[in-house]
Structure 1
Amino acid sequence: MSYTLAYVVTFLVFLAVDFVGLSYLIKPLFERAIGPLMLENFRVVPAFLFYAFLVFVVMWFVSWPALSADKSLLWVFGSAALIGAAAYGTYEFTNYAILKDWTTTLVMADLAWGTFLTGFSATAGVALARLFTS
C-alpha cells in the first residue's frame, strides 16, 4: 500500500508543482525564445505519458528502495534529482545541440527546474507515504 501511495502522491505533487512552475517560470522563457514554434494549447497525452513514466522510473530506482531500506529524505531528494537532471538534461542539451533558437537560458532554467521538481516530488511522496503507513 505504501508503494502505491508514494506513486500517487509523487505524481500529484509533480503535476501540481510543475503546473505552477511551467505557468510562471518556464513558459515565459520559452515564449520569448521560441514563441512562434509553441502550440497554443499543449498536447495532454504526451505530457501525461512523460510524467507517468518519469515518476515510475523515480519510484523504481529511488522511492521504493527508500521505503524498503529506510533511506534518508536527503538521499531521496538527491537520487531523484539526479534522475530529473538526466531526463530534463537529455531534452535540453539535445535541443541546444540541434535547434538554432534554443538558448543557454532555456537549457539552464529548464534543467534546474526539472532537477528540483523531480527531487522535491519524490521526497514529498516518500515522506507522506511514511507518515501515513507508519
Structure 2
Amino acid sequence: MSEASHAGDRADGQSHRRFLAIAAATAAVAVLLLGLDLVWLGVVAKGLYDRALGPLLREPVHWPAALGFYGFYVGAIVATAVATARSVRVAAARGAALGLIVYASYELTNLAVIAGWPASLVPVDVAWGVALTGSVSAGGAWVKLRVMDRR
C-alpha cells in the first residue's frame, strides 16, 4: 500500500472520530442543558418565577415550543462554544459569553416590551444563563475531547 493511501486512511479515521466526538458532545450538551434547566425552573427557582411572573406562566408548559428552543440552543452551544474548542476552559468561556448574549437579549427585550416584566428577574436570569451555558459547554467539550483522544 502506498504512503498516500495510508495518509488517506488516517484522515478518514480522524474525520470519523471527529464526527463521533461532535455527536457525543451534542448528546451531552442536550442532556445537561435540559436536565439542569428543568431542575432550575421546576425546583430551585420555581417559587421565584411563580411570584415574579404569576399569571404569565403557562400550565402546562407548551412542550413543542420548549423543545424547539432547546433544540436551537443545543445547536448554538455546540457550534459556538464546543465544536472548535481545544480545551474545556475555552469552551466554558465561549459558552458563558453565549449565555450572556442570549439571556440578556431575552430578558432586556421582555423588560422593554412586556408591561410589568419584573426588573428583579433580569440579573437572576442572566446570571443563570451565563452559569448554565458555560457549564454545559464545558461538559460538552470534555466529552468531545475524550472521544477525540481515544486511540
Q: Is 1:73 matched with 2:92?
A: no
Q: Deviations over 1:32-64 (max 9, x none)?
A: 122112111111111111111111112112211
Match of 2:79 in 1: 60
Structure of higher RCO (CA pairs closer than 8 Å, 6+ residues apart):
1
Q: CA deviation at 1:132?
A: 3.7
Q: Which runs of 5 or more structure 2 residues have no equivalent in the other structure?
A: 1-19
Amino acid in structure 1 at the alignment position of 2:55: P
Q: Deviations over 1:92-126 (max 9, x none)?
A: 10111122321222111111111111110111011
Q: Is 1:12 matched with 2:12?
A: no
Match of 2:60 in 1: 41
TM-score (norm 1): 0.89
Q: Deviations over 1:3-50 (max 9, x none)?
A: 000000011000111111111233322211221121111111111111
Which aligned segments of 4 or more residues in structure 1 are displaced greater than 3 angstroms?
none
How many residue pairs get aligned? The number is 130
Amino acid in structure 2 at the alignment position of 1:87: V
CA distance in 2, matches of 1:110, 1:25: 13
Which one has a bigger Cα radius of gyration? 2
Q: CA deviation at 1:131?
A: 2.2
TM-score (norm 2): 0.80
Amino acid in structure 2 at the alignment position of 1:5: A
Q: CA deviation at 1:128?
A: 2.0
Alignment RMSD (CA, Å): 1.3
Q: Deviations over 1:60-95 (max 9, x none)?
A: 1221111xxx2x222111111111111111111011
CA distance in 2, matches of 1:126, 1:4: 11
CA distance in 2, matches of 1:83, 1:124: 15
CA distance in 2, matches of 1:25, 1:109: 12
CA distance in 2, matches of 1:128, 1:60: 15
SS state at 1:104 partner: coil
Percent identity between the two aligned chains: 30
CA distance in 1, matches of 2:77, 2:58: 29
Match of 1:51 in 2: 70
SS state at 2:96 partner: helix
SS state at 1:102 partner: coil
